[in-house]
Amino acid sequence: MSRIGKKPVVIPQGVTITVGKDNVVTVKGPKGELKEAVDRDIVVEVKDGEVNFSRPTDQGRHRAMHGLYRALVANMVKGVTDGFEKKLELVGVGFKAANQGNILDLALGYSHNIIFEVPKELKVATAQEKGQNPTITLEGTDKQLLGQVAAKLRSLRKPEPYKGKGVKYVGEYIRRKAGKAAGK
C-alpha cells in the first residue's frame, strides 16, 4: 500500500467535502471552493471527519493514482482553509514590477515592458522598498495554478549563474559560476 495513499485526510472545522457523480470531489471552505475529478478506479469515502482513499488492485497505475489523488485532495483542503503563497524577487538594475488589479507590468531589462495577466483566481501584490529588490507576491487557493503562474513569471527572465540577475523565488539559491579568468 502507498504510505501517502493510506493516510486519511482530516477535514478541519468549516470545510465540507462532497463526492459527486463521476467521482468529482468538491471541497468548500472559508477561502473558496475547489473541484477535482478523481480517477474512476480510486474509491473516495468521506466519513467521521476524514477522507479515505482505496484502490482496487496493486497494478502500477492504481498504485500511482492512489497517492496522487490523496495528495491533491489534501492540498485542496489546505488551500481552502489557509491558502498558498509564493514570493518572487526581481534581481537586477532597473528591474521593476507594478500591478493594477491582476495586470502585472514588468520591466526586466528588455526593450519593452512585459504586461502579464494573472488569472482572476489569484491575488497579486507588488512591493518596492528602498534598498531592497522588488518583490511579487502571489496568493491563492489552488496550489497547482499558483505554481504554474509563478513558474511562468520566473521563465520570463531566469536567474543567470554569473551575477544572479533575473526573476527568482524568495529564498532560492542560485549556483554561481566563476567569471572570465584574467588574462596576462
Spell out the per-residue pLDDT of the chain, length 184, in tens. Answer: 568 888 999 999 999 999 988 899 999 999 999 999 999 899 999 988 999 999 999 888 998 899 999 999 999 999 999 999 999 999 999 999 999 999 999 999 999 999 999 999 999 999 999 999 999 999 999 999 999 999 999 999 999 999 999 999 999 999 999 888 876 6
Do 3-81 and 84-169 come out as alike in CATH topology? Answer: yes
Domain ranges for the chain: 3-81, 84-169
Q: How many CA atoms lie within 13 A of 21 on its CB side?
A: 0
**Residue 36 CB burial class (10 angstroms; 0-12, 13-18, ≥19):** middle
Query: The domain at 3-81 falls in which architecture?
Result: Alpha-Beta Complex (3.90)
Residue 66, CA distances (Å) to 17, 56, 69, 142 in order = 18, 10, 6, 20
| Contact present, 80 and 32 (Cβ < 8 Å) | yes
Angle at 179 between CA 174 and CA 180, to 5 degrees: 160
Fold (CATH) for 84-169: Outer Surface Protein A; domain 3 (3.90.930)
